[in-house]
């Protein structure tokens, strides 16, 4: 039973365009969400997070949107660059479990084409 | 300021042998987490430790797997009598002492275990 879903295994985008990566969750108790980027043979790198008291968080080219009623979040990358090509994982945790036991989605492989 | 360190990066074991994976958290971090990533899957939480304490081991298989984070030295994930299904990438992450705010976890490069 996957509590965090990333239904697109892969996504290809042209350089300079917007990349939108989606994530859905089923556990309504989740109230802290993160996105990680992972290159081959490396550990995941933290990108951006959002708590459920917000619906948007922006950091440079990266923006995360949270729709609590739909149990959906998305990561927007604008403009996309070839170096953004990686696997992106969405993760979630429960309020009284901050920093513990993150539940990860299966990942979406983003390819940014030059 | 060194990040999370894991060694070895690659480990090959034959069925029935023991595997020991080590993790040194970032400086100033006292919380350690272990995750396993099977091929084509996301990361699965295994265990959360603080110094000398196991806080949450709900993701650990009931047998053959154990973890520790001693007062001195790295955290160790130990797998006894390895089987082929244990072949995976094992990632360690660390976070600072909890301040009551959400803590981001910072990951090491992982140990890739191959069981022959």
**With left for phi above 0 and alpha for psi between -120 and 50, is residue B95 left, alpha or beta?**
beta
Cα gap A21→A73, rounded to integer Å: 9
Predicted local confidence at residue B38, as pLDDT: 87
Predicted local confidence at residue A1, as pLDDT: 66
Is the Cβ pair A45, B107 closer than 8 Å? yes
Residue A36: which of A47, A24, A51, A25 has the closest Cα? A47
Predicted local confidence at residue A2, as pLDDT: 77
Q: Strand, helix or coil at B86?
A: helix
Is the Cβ pair A32, B102 closer than 8 Å? yes
**Closest by Cβ to B110, choosing from A6, A43, A100:** A43
User: What residues of chain A lie within 8 A of the CB of B57, using their CB?
Assistant: none
Predicted local confidence at residue B28, as pLDDT: 85
Cα gap A39→A41, rounded to integer Å: 6
Predicted local confidence at residue B56, as pLDDT: 87
Got the DSSP string for chain A? --SEE---SEEEEETTS-EEEEEEE--TTEEEEEEEEE-TTS--EEEEEEETT-SEEEETTEEEEEETTTTEEEEEESS--GGG-EEEEEEEEEGGGTTS-PEEP--EEEEEE-
Q: Whose structure tokens read 């309020």? A: A95
Predicted local confidence at residue A95, as pLDDT: 63
Q: How far is CA A66 from CA A8, A61, A98, A101, B110, in A?
A: 18, 17, 18, 20, 30
Where chain B has pLDDT below 70, the residues are 1, 97-103
Is the Cβ pair A89, B43 closer than 8 Å? yes
Where chain A has pLDDT below 50, the residues are none
Is the Cβ pair B104, A45 closer than 8 Å? no
Predicted local confidence at residue A93, as pLDDT: 85
- Pick from A41, A49, A101 the residue to mutate for testing the B interface (most B CBs within 10 Å): A101
Backbone angles phi, psi at A73, to 5 degrees: -135, 160
Interchain contact A35–B (C-beta under 8 A): no
Predicted local confidence at residue B103, as pLDDT: 65
Cα gap B21→B32, rounded to integer Å: 13
What the block records as the tokens of B106 is 């910072």
């Amino acid at each position: 039973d996957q509590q965090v879903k990333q239904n697109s295994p892969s996504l290809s985008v042209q350089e300079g365009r917007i990349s939108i990566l989606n994530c859905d969750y089923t556990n309504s108790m989740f109230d802290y969400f993160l996105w990680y980027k992972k290159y081959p043979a490396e550990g995941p790198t933290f990108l951006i997070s959002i708590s459920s008291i917000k619906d948007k968080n922006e950091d440079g080219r990266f923006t995360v949107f949270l729709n609590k009623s739909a149990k959906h979040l998305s990561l927007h990358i604008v403009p996309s660059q070839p170096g953004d090509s990686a696997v992106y994982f969405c993760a979630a945790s429960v309020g009284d479990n901050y920093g513990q036991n993150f539940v990860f989605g299966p990942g979406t492989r983003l390819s940014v084409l030059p | 300021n060194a990040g999370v360190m894991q060694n070895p990066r690659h480990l090959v074991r034959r069925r029935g042998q023991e595997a020991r994976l080590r993790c040194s958290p970032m400086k100033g971090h006292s919380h350690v987490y272990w995750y396993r990533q099977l091929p084509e899957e996301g990361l699965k939480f295994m265990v959360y430790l603080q110094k000398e304490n196991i806080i949450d081991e709900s993701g650990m298989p009931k047998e053959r797997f154990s973890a520790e984070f001693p007062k001195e030295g790295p955290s160790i994930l130990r797998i006894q009598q390895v089987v082929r299904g244990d072949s995976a990438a094992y990632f360690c992450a660390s976070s600072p002492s909890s301040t009551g705010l959400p803590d981001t976890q910072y990951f090491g490069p992982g140990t890739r275990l191959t069981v022959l």
